[in-house]
Amino acid sequence: MNQEIERRRTFAIISHPDAGKTTLTEKLLLFGGQIQVAGAVKSNKIKKTATSDWMEIEKQRGISVTTSVMEFDYEGYKVNILDTPGHQDFAEDTFRTLTAVDSAIIVVDGAKGVEAQTRKLMTVCRMRKTPVIIFINKMDREGKDPFDLLDELEEELQILVRPLSWPINQGAKFKGVYNIYEQKLNLFTPDKQRVTEKVEVDLDSETLADFVGERDAEKLREDLELVDGVYPEFDVQTYLDAEVAPVFFGSALNNFGVQELLDCFVRIAPYPRPTQAEERMVMPDEPKFTGFVFKITANIDPNHRSCIAFCKVCSGRFQRNAPYLHVRNGKTLRFSSPTQFMAQRKETIDEAWPGDIVGLPDNGIFKIGDTLTEGEQLHFRGLPSFSPEMFKYIENADPMKTKQLEKGISQLMDEGVAQLFINQFNGRKIIGTVGQLQFEVIQYRLENEYNARCRWEPASLYKACWVECEPGFESELENFQKRKYQYMARDREGRDVFLADSSYVLTMAQQDFKHLRFHFTSEF
């Protein structure tokens, strides 16, 4: 069992939109032998789209809307990649994904440097002490000076860095990278499908100049001397403790510097680590199976209206058809067709080990954050739903398709992309999200996946917060509900939600009702 655990590497690829996450994922799959030809995120010449962007809307817009799970074997290691959306409107999906991985690769655009969304995601990694490797992409375009980029990374992401590869020039004059980790020179030939050659060169020898030219050879020696002087020797333990981030340079589109990243990653990245449950710490090598659901996707296969719950295995061995306890509703379940993923393509498996992500068929029994065990009462926490910041009333645009709309809304809300509130005053449905793009995605998916049409009407609300009262002050809660009758709603669990229409109203309510508690995430 320990052998299976030690060969697992489960990680997320995160970054600001357009830095090149999905392109990097494609190239990793190419090395893993899972695909023969790498697709493009947005290109008119290559008709094949990226493997991980399988939703119709993702292909049209050239952005990732949902986290894709992919796995492959590489040099004896089993690698599980989660390609996350970069767009801030889908940040919640990315935050949840970070609870299911053991490490992360952050992609930074060499020309733009650190951007807003990267900072936010790094804060989550810091909170969870997740080790990160940084890949500086797009070196084949003109960009910032490598030393300036490293300073910016340290300052903006608040983590020490250590380069493990070094670029020789950039933009049109880009000649390759020197792999500090393996002490080899990699020469650059732009090719989207083939892998570049590696040359073993002694830094002090004359032959270096034959490959890159006298001037660049001299500059490379000076740069490397400076790197060794400024940055401490690389120590794997400091990376595992999330104190130092190794940095690689390359161009994902041209397949350059990616293999160096992958080779180093599988050697140094952590295998599955203990997971903190409310009751105790769960170790991966325990004999009994435990796992939690961190994501639900509706309609992964348009021919079957099915939902799939993504379950991260935390300990023990998951087996097909074995009985497992669904802790929240106390039922015992058996899974006859658990699956493993290659984005949308899936295959049935008989067993899975800690670190693996298993797809379980879901007919409405799972919610995000649910725990499965072999009978023990365990609860894994840390998968909150945030308080939405944008609200719209959802109305049926086609009365003949009421049933389809109901089903569509219900399944899409299970995914946790948005939240549904029902106003107790007039019974209207309100959808709350963290970004405008979510409304477009919901409308598009309702029409294309459920054949139901909706229209949005503006709702001028400021914030949704869950309300509960301290024991013994139930009368105060009743009084509050009477006074705020028009602004009270219920969420899908039937909990009381106060929809404040301005920050002033919310502050006044907190002052006037001292014994009520207002929560801004759904976990309390």
Q: Which has the closest alpha carbon to 259: 39, 11, 106, 31?
A: 31
Q: Which residue has the higher pLDDT, 91 or 156?
A: 156
Q: Where among 373, 404, 422 does a domain terminate?
A: 373
Same domain, 283 and 201: no
Is the confidence at residue 284, as pLDDT, over 80?
yes
Average pLDDT value for residue range 7-16: 83
Please report whether residue 465 resides in a domain: yes
Domain total of the chain: 3
CB distance 483 to 440 below 8 Å = no
- For residue 148, the domain's CATH number is 3.40.50.300
Q: Are 419 and 447 in a shared domain?
A: yes
* Residue of 392, 480, 486 whose CA lies nearest to 442: 392
| Mean predicted confidence (pLDDT) in 375-392 | 77
Q: Contact 39/29 with Cβ under 8 angstroms?
A: no
Q: Are 231 and 310 found together in one domain?
A: no
**More confident position, 257 or 358:** 358
Residue 165 lies in a domain: yes
**Within a domain: 295:** yes
Residue finishing a domain among 227, 253, 268? 268
**407 strand-pairing partners:** none
- The larger pLDDT score, comparing residue 348 to residue 393, is at 393
Instruction: Identify the pLDDT of residue 205.
Output: 64
363 lies in the same domain as 427:
no
Residue 380 lies in a domain: no
Please tell me whether residues 102 and 28 are part of one structural domain. Answer: yes
Residue where the block lists tokens 């009421």:
402
- Whether 308 and 242 share a structural domain: no
Q: Please tell me the least confidently modeled range out of 80-94, 187-201, 226-240.
A: 187-201
Query: What per-residue string of b and e applies to 301-313 under the rule 16 or more CB within 10 Å gives b?
Result: eeeeeebbbbbbb
Burial letters for 73-98: b for 16+ Cβ neighbours within 10 Å, e otherwise? ebeebbbbbbbbbbbbbbbbbbbbbb
Same domain flag for 149 and 47: yes
pLDDT mean across residues, the chain: 79
407 falls within a domain: yes
User: pLDDT band at 43, cuts 50/70/90?
Assistant: very low
Give a yes or no: residue 80 inside a domain.
no
Whether 381 and 315 have beta carbons less than 8 Å apart is answered as no
1/344: higher pLDDT: 1
| Digit-coded pLDDT (tens) for 349-360 | 788 888 888 888
Task: For residues 288 and 343, state if they share a domain.
Answer: yes
The string of DSSP letters for 269-310 reads SPPP--EEBSSSEEPTT-SS-EEEEEEEEE-SSTTS--EEEE
- Does residue 441 fall inside a structural domain? yes
Q: What is the pTM of this model?
A: 0.78
Quickly state the pLDDT bin for 430 (edges 50, 70, 90).
very high
Same domain, 291 and 246: no
Last residue of a domain, one of 224, 248, 268: 268
pLDDT the model gives residue 450: 83
- Provide the residue range defining the domain that includes 334: 275-373
Q: Identify the band that residue 143 occupies on the pLDDT scale cut at 50, 70 and 90.
A: confident
Q: Which residues contact residue 27 at a Cβ distance below 8 angstroms, ignoring those fewer than 6 apart? A: 38, 252, 255, 258
Q: What is the mean pLDDT of residues 247-263?
A: 83
Structure-model confidence comparison of residues 197 and 84, the more confident one: 84
Q: How confident is the model at residue 35 (pLDDT cuts 50, 70, 90)?
A: low
Q: Which residue has the higher pLDDT, 396 or 94?
A: 396
Flag whether 76 is in a domain.
no
pLDDT grade for 48, boundaries at 50, 70 and 90: very low
Same domain, 248 and 328: no
Average pLDDT over residues 300-306: 62
| pLDDT at 52 exceeding the cut of 60 | no
CA 371/CA 360 separation, integer angstroms = 13
Q: Are both 310 and 344 inside the same structural domain?
A: yes
- As a whole number, mean pLDDT of residues 182-209 equals 63
Q: Which tens digits make up the pLDDT trace of 54-113?
A: 455 555 555 555 567 778 788 888 888 887 765 665 566 677 777 788 888 888 888 888
* Residue 396 sits in the same domain as residue 352: no
